[in-house]
Amino acid sequence: MIRKWALRAIVTYVLFGIAMYAYLFYLADTSIPEMLQGTKADPTTFLNSRELMLSEEYSRIRNLIFFLATPYEWLFYYLILIFGISSAFERWADKTSKLFVVKIAIYLFWLSLVSFIVMYPLSYLSYMISKSYNISTQIFSSWMKDKWIDFWVDYGMMFVIITVLYALMRKFKKRWWLAAWLLSIPFSIFMMFIQPVLIDPLYNDFYPLKDKELEAKILEIADEANIPAEHVYEVDMSSKTNSLNAYVTGVGSNSRIVLWDTTLERLSDEEILFIMAHEMGHYVEKHIYIGIAGYLLLTLVGLWITAKIMERWVNKRGKLWKVEKMTNIGTLPVFLLITSILLFAASPLSNWVSRYQETRADTYAIEMTGDKEAGIQTFQSLTKAGLSQVNPPYLVKIFRYGHPTMLERITLIEEFRIEEK
Q: Where are the beta strands (DSSP E) in 136-223?
A: 206-208
Q: Which residues are annotated as a binding site?
A: 278, 282, 358
- Check 234, 279, 371, 408 and give the catalytic one: 279
Q: What does the CA dihedral 284, 289, 292, 295 come to, rounded to 10 degrees?
A: -70
What's residue 212's pLDDT? 87
Summarize pLDDT for 348-389 with one digit per residue, the tens.
Answer: 999 999 999 999 999 999 998 888 999 999 999 999 999 999
CA–CA distance, 193 with 288 (Å, rounded to integer): 12
Angle, in degrees to the nearest 10, between helices 406-415 and 372-386: 170
Task: Reply yes or no on whether 150 is catalytic.
Answer: no
Low-confidence ranges of the chain (pLDDT < 50): 420-421
Question: By C-alpha distance, which of 310, 376, 374 is closest to 337?
Answer: 310
Task: Reply yes or no on whether 215 is catalytic.
Answer: no
Q: What is the pTM of this model?
A: 0.90
- Check 42, 215, 271, 362 and give the catalytic one: 362
Summarize pLDDT for 280-317 with one digit per residue, the tens.
Answer: 888 888 888 888 889 899 999 999 999 999 988 888 87
Q: Which residues are annotated as a binding site for Zn(2+)?
A: 278, 282, 358
What's residue 252's pLDDT? 67
CA–CA distance, 390 with 397 (Å, rounded to integer): 11
Contact 296, 70 (CB under 8 A): no
Query: In the chain, what are the domain boundaries?
Result: 2-203+286-415
